[in-house]
Chain A
Amino acid sequence: MPDTSSPTTFSHRSLLDRFRMDAFLLRVDWHLEGSLPGSDRKAIIESLRQELATEPRELSQALDGLGSPRSLARRYADEGVRRPLWSLGVVIGGLALSIYWAVFLTYTAGMLAAVDSFAPATAHSHFLSIQVRAFSSADGFGIGWTGGWAWLVVPLIIVAVGFLAGARLWRALPALRHEGTSRPSDDF
């Protein structure tokens, strides 16, 4: 029989259950990203959503039956090749930029505190090739940095390295795609 029916799913689950279900499926999708293309992942997630919505058991029992999102994704991706984890790359890239900004602002704030204790004074320094200036006088105090190439390039390099490492870009190389392909789990 052809699959012509609408996949639309309405659930007898409560709002909280649906939230838990979505959180679980998001984690499964996250783990599947490293093994399967988007269209396959979408089909699997929709199928799982329908099964979870229709199982007659409590949601916690249904989720227990599926196991952890990681092991479930591993079973779905039994024959899959390793693929880059783009979502994780975005997260790691964003995290790297946040850390860079936090360290940079801490550094400039420290400079300002030091300069302020010797006011009136001005200090110049470099933070990863970016020239930073702090000053304090009777009229006021402040920090500043130059808008040269380093101002744009350094954060871009940090984001790019974080993104590429987080996404495990080397998995896009055909020679490395099959290495360490997910192994089947032993539990049943």
Chain B
Amino acid sequence: MSRIQAQQNAQVIRAALPLLTLTLIGNRESYGYEIVERLSDLGLSVSTGLVYPVLSRLERDALVTTWSVASSNGPPRKYFALTPAGRDARNSALDQWQLVSSAVAHTLTTEGENNA
């Protein structure tokens, strides 16, 4: 993969990560590393170094709430759940993503046909 392709991939992932994170947390309350694993299960290999800052921003903006859950065989884990404001933010981000992705898909289809 060329450097430009890698940068492009990274930018797409970065742009989608808040929406993906809000969606995953909205479906099921999770802790930080679990979100990385769930993304990995979906085929998106994202590092903790990218997900934790996103979670931090979501928490700062009160889009998620956190609490610690004690574990019998380890330290307590910090869980994240969506707030009503987070739900609104997710819906808004989803609308925007669909708008952009349909525009991109449309452009690729029409311009792709012209280039074929």
Contacts and interface: CB of A to CB of B under 8 A. Distances in A.
Given A3-B66, A76-B53, A184 B14 contact: yes
B77 A187 contact: no
A7 to B, nearest CB: 7
Given A54-B75, A55-B33, A65-B47, A47 B65 contact: no
Interface residues of A, number: 37
Interface of A is mostly: loop
B28 interface: no
A51 B78 contact: yes
Interface string B64-104: 01111001011111100100000000000000000000000
B26 interface: no
Contacts of B7: 186
B106 to A, nearest CB: 27
B75 A186 contact: no
Contacts of A12: 73-75
Interface residues of B, number: 35
A144 interface: no
A60 interface: no
Interface centre among B33, B48, B56, B65 (most CB of A within 10 A): B48
A188 B46 contact: yes
Interface string A62-93: 10011100011001101000000000000000
Nearest to B45: A188
Interface in B1-60: 6-7, 9-11, 13-14, 31-33, 36, 46-50, 52-53, 55-57, 59-60
Pick the 8 closest A-B CB pairs, nearest first: A67-B49, A5-B68, A65-B48, A75-B53, A66-B49, A186-B10, A186-B7, A53-B75
Interface of A: 1-12, 40, 43-44, 47-48, 50-51, 53-56, 62, 65-67, 71-72, 75-76, 78, 184-188
